[in-house]
A and B are shown apart, each in its own frame.
Chain A
């Protein structure tokens, strides 16, 4: 709940700055800080002090693009106080702002309202515009970083000439972005292509992105996409998947199958075969007790059961016969959590697998 110590330091700094920001910046911008003005689409000042506190907490240093406000023409600002002392003070703080927003992560710059402002009685808002001062911002036109835009992410995923850094960013931020139903086919194709191209990479950053792509891809699969997913499991004659990628593939398809809307998600024989091979290869005491292999096996077995693969009983029996009590206990409970959300034949079949898993333990007891 409470953030890390670095966040506490940031909170303290924000508090200090909000105390210092009791000055009016309004007369300074047009002839004074062109870099900030050029980058800022609009600069907004809250109407009252409580809103100002809220905005400084949001914007600095974490940033927010949700703040709105009214705007006034920039010529309103002429005639503001221009004493040399204030200029020096403004310059210092605006340079701080400048360095914070060098990467332009937000188009907003907060300008404080001062008790000494000559405009205090009239308005609480100033507008220093790089754009048309008559332009009133609204929700549809509010600038958003492309990494939070589903369309922009897709454009970069699909673009043949997308720079590598942007393609990685597109994959990473796709994981936490919602895509409307009409965009999902493009999303699935884009992510499948990325996974296909980079699943054997040994580069850590790429492996991380492939993991994110796999999770998002799997969670947005439709029943007709299973063969494409299955293909990702396959090694070639010269390359094999890393343990990390295998884990994500097994885990994510398990998540998706558990949420499948229909009992008909069991027609991909390639997916059944791939998962069966994976689970079969790793079902040994020596491997299960090593890093991540237990997770791979558990997720693969759950997926195999949900797909009602032909060899599911055999594999569940082998898992039970390993006599790794913590493993079969955890697997059984995870299977039960999934079964509770199913209905009809899927639920009863998974229940039967759970009983099979627990049988030797019960017999010994």
Chain B
């Protein structure tokens, strides 16, 4: 007993002593090599004006199960570097050019760093990674200047905005992983589907990662912050009698594994995914519809995440080679700052500093972004009017400087902006029940036999890559087509009766639809998801994710159009499903 106490105390004390005596070996190697690299110079070419090193030092453990059996399990330790060298100056450097990301530089096999804490070997790797980044920057810069010579451009924005140097060195989180516990949890959750023979396929993936984000820049920023996320992803799919494929899914996340819901709650959620899907296989196909739609519970938060949140960052048009086509779509909010985007009784705030909401942990909490900038609370929409946007250190029209929202890798030498905890507030609200009555009344006034309630969107999507490709191709050229499919859609009749329907998609639903919000509920719902750059934030679509939460009330939106999906699906399997027991 005594011994155990000793063991519990000792590592922490030792770590503290060591931290005082000798700074972190990774930070030390980063700082030292950073200093030396300032003198990099190719004959007659630019010296670096800015260098940043980021290292993600972590471990990721995966367990995947189906119907109570383990399909895959694995564990991987990693230390991934991201080195950027900028040449030129803040006004004009090698970024923001179509070719910026496509000049590989010399090959030195330094895409991953040693996981052992060897100062010398880390420096050796940083040395080579910096050399490669510098040369690729010099090459990109000369190509960019050549392209600019032949372009008649109006006044160019700066390429890199200012930021205050930050010093934030926190203790890394201890790694605790009991593979047996996670295996048995994945098995138990996936075994829920043994009760649902009508569901063709199901998987439960448990992904736990611990990571420490290291960041050092030539401006003096030094960061070490613990990160990591644990995700349980439950996916299921099946066929209807006519062969239409249907699916359902849920992602349950927590920044710390201990803050995940209890097993009983997890099993309830798995069962709910199964039950809704089983009901979908029996549901009738929905018909074309134009009218009010109630986005209830998490469906509203999903709607705000995708239609508002994902578009609160403006992409910047890169310098392109003259005469070459550039597939670039400006952001939907381009030039709309100061205009109304929501009803005047709604506000939107992003607050990454908040860790809890009504006792529930918030997934979108973070301390520092990918550019070493600490985020502050930001009012994005005030009384319905767009006030500001999510920004990185890449200046976009009408702004300068970062507000600490560089959360994902981006394009053309930049990071992409994203939100943390997005709060949608309604100053006018009614109870959920009244909201539902409003829907029924509006439908009755317009002589509609029923109204529609959406309770779940397919966001992030659990579609297969093949299906995503089809959806993206089908949506080419239209904004509305880029919205996820509604997963759980109910007809609600005048007498309050509800009927689940399947196979519908939105025909028009974009940022403009948000101005048609006519009412909101007094209760809000939180929705966590892992954001990344792939379409529909498809589950598992990228290895680099930003943890986010949206908190929003249910909303009634007028004039939403839905239509049936094209009936291009195959017939159901000829061979009936095998027995489950």
- Do A and B assemble together? no
Residues of A whose CB lies within 8 Å of any CB of B are none
Residues of B whose CB lies within 8 Å of any CB of A are none
